Amino acid sequence: MKHGFIRVAAIAPHIRLADCSYNADIIINIIDSAEQKEVGLLVFPELCVTGYTCGDLFLQDILLLRAMEQVKRIAAATVGKELVTVIGFPYERQGRLYNTAAVLHGGRILGLVPKQNIPNYCEFYELRYFAKGPQEVIKVDFMGEDVFFGSRMLFECSDMPDFVLGVEICEDLWVPISPGNSHCLAGATVIANLSASNEIIGKAEYRRELVKSQSKRLICGYVYADAGEGESTTDLVFSGHSLIAENGAILLESEPFHNDMIINDIDLGIIMSDRRRMNNDLGQDATDYIRVKYTLSEDDCKLKTYELIRRIDPSPFVPADSNELKERCNDIFTIQAMGLKARLNHVEAKCALIGVSGGLDSTLALLVTHRAFELLGIDKKGIMAVTMPCFGTSERTYNNALSLAKGLGATVIEIPIKDAVMQHFKDIGHGIDTHDITYENAQARERTQVLMDLANQHNGLMIGPGDMSELVLGWTTYNGDHMSMYGVNSSVPKTLIRSIVKWYADSTDNKELAEVLKDVLDTPVSPELLPPTKGNEYQRTEDYIGPYELHDFFIFYVLRYGFSPEKVYRLAKTAFEQKFKDEEILKWLQLFYRRFFSQQYKRSCLPDGPKVGSVSISPRGDLRMPSDAKAKLWLDELKGISL
DSSP 55: G
Rounded CA separation 511/518 (Å): 11
Q: Which uninterrupted H or E stretch holds 347?
A: helix 322-347
Secondary structure of the chain: what % helix, strand, coil (to 5)? Answer: 40, 20, 40
Q: Is 507 exposed, middle or buried (0-12, 13-18, 19+ CB in 10 A)?
A: exposed
Rounded CA separation 164/294 (Å): 11
Fold of 322-639: Rossmann fold (3.40.50)
Hey, is 468 helix, strand or coil? helix
Hey, is 565 helix, strand or coil? helix
pLDDT tens per residue, range 513-542: 999 999 999 999 998 899 987 666 778 999
Q: 260 vs 360, which has greater pLDDT?
A: 360
74 within 8 A of 42, measured Cβ to Cβ: no
Averaged over 366-387, what is the pLDDT? 97
51 within 8 A of 231, measured Cβ to Cβ: yes
DSSP 410: P
Task: Give the angle subtended at the CA of 418 by the CAs of 415 and 424, to the nearest 5°.
Answer: 115
pLDDT of residue 301: 46
Rounded CA separation 626/332 (Å): 29
Does the structure show a pLDDT above 70 at 162?
Answer: yes
DSSP 607: P
Hey, is 243 helix, strand or coil? strand
Range with the lowest mean pLDDT among 219-228, 290-299, 309-318, 585-594? Answer: 290-299
Rounded CA separation 601/442 (Å): 19
Report strand pairing: 221-226 vs 243-246: antiparallel
* Greatest distance between any 2 Cα atoms in the chain: 101
Averaged over 204-221, what is the pLDDT? 95
DSSP secondary structure letters along 415-433: ---HHHHHHHHHHHT--TT
φ/ψ (deg, to 5) at 370: -60, -45
CA-to-CA separations, 119 to 43, 169, 173, 181, in angstroms, rounded: 21, 11, 12, 19
pLDDT of residue 300: 46
Rounded CA separation 366/352 (Å): 10
208 within 8 A of 173, measured Cβ to Cβ: no
Residue spans of the domains in the chain: they are: 2-294, 322-639
Averaged over 348-371, what is the pLDDT? 97
Cα–Cα nearest to 401, from 448, 356, 447, 354: 356
Averaged over 273-294, what is the pLDDT? 86
Question: What are the residue numbers of the active site?
Answer: 46, 115, 170
Confidence of residue 256 (pLDDT cuts 50, 70, 90): confident
pLDDT tens per residue, range 609-623: 999 999 999 999 889
Q: Which pTM was predicted?
A: 0.92
Hey, is 557 helix, strand or coil? helix
Averaged over 289-302, what is the pLDDT? 74
Cα–Cα nearest to 272, from 192, 190, 210: 190
Q: Which uninterrupted H or E stretch holds 171?
A: helix 171-174
Fold of 2-294: Nitrilase/N-carbamoyl-D-aminoacid amidohydrolase (3.60.110)
Question: Within 10 Å of residue 139's Cβ, how many Cβ atoms?
Answer: 12
Q: Which uninterrupted H or E stretch holds 462?
A: strand 460-464
Dihedral angle sign, alpha carbons of residues 507, 512, 518, 520: negative
CA-to-CA separations, 96 to 127, 133, 357, in angstroms, rounded: 11, 9, 77
Task: Give the angle subtended at the CA of 264 by the CAs of 81 and 320, to the nearest 5°.
Answer: 165
pLDDT tens per residue, range 113-157: 999 998 876 566 788 999 999 999 999 999 999 999 999 999 999
pLDDT of residue 123: 61
pLDDT of residue 122: 58
Mean pLDDT of the chain: 94
Q: Is 266 exposed, middle or buried (0-12, 13-18, 19+ CB in 10 A)?
A: buried
pLDDT of residue 341: 97
